[in-house]
Amino acid sequence: MELKNVKIKGIANEDFNDNEYLEDYIKQIEASGVNLVFGKLDELINWGRSNSLWPLIYATSCCGIEFMATAAAHNDFSRFGYEVTRNSPRQADMMIVCGTLVHKMAPLIKRVYDQMAEPKYVVVMGACAISGGPFINSYHVVPGIDTIIPVDVYVPGCPPRPESLLYGLMQLQRKVKLEKFLGNKQR
């Protein structure tokens, strides 16, 4: 498998930047060996999964509004299968964290993340969620969500434009398309 063979609807392969992470990921998978039959089955399943990623919105502040703008008319991310935003963690495939995380909220995000069913992904949106952003020096702000839960995609900006969020979500689709759950011999 090569990265350039991973096709994402609506964006050409050359338009993606920062591919090192995914290339390393492919090497890792190939090093452990892929079963031909199950590998193909994986591709079929991943095709379905990557085009119907249902997000759980964890919107705490400003970025949540840009998330809504991405979901609504004009940008409309349902074109890529993100249509069904879930409010229950048990029905969601991925969590989009939009906004600052503070001390009082830290136990709750961990709990919501734990309640999600595997396989699960986390997209963080905005400078606050990535690192604390403009509030990093505050007494009550957690400096980055990755100190609490693992993160798959970082979307920078304050707040990121809907286009940035869509790009981040497509990067996640690529990651999902590469995964091998059945075909990977080590599993």
By CB under 8 A, name the binding residues for other proteins: 57-62, 64-66, 68-69, 72-74, 87, 99-100, 102-108, 110-112, 134-135, 137-142, 147-148, 158-159, 161
| Beta carbons of 132 and 102 less than 8 angstroms apart | no
Q: Least Å distance between CB 52 and other proteins? A: 19
Tokens of 23: 């290339």
In this complex, which beta carbon is closest to other proteins, that of residue 169 or of residue 178?
169
Q: Least Å distance between CB 75 and other proteins? A: 8
Rounded CA-CA distance 103/35 in Å is: 45
In this complex, which beta carbon is closest to other proteins, that of residue 17 or of residue 87?
87
Q: Least Å distance between CB 68 and other proteins? A: 7
Q: Least Å distance between CB 177 and other proteins? A: 29
Q: Where are the beta strands (DSSP E) in the chain?
A: 55-59, 94-98, 121-125, 153-155
Rounded CA-CA distance 39/118 in Å is: 19
In this complex, which beta carbon is closest to other proteins, that of residue 64 or of residue 183?
64
Rounded CA-CA distance 50/71 in Å is: 17
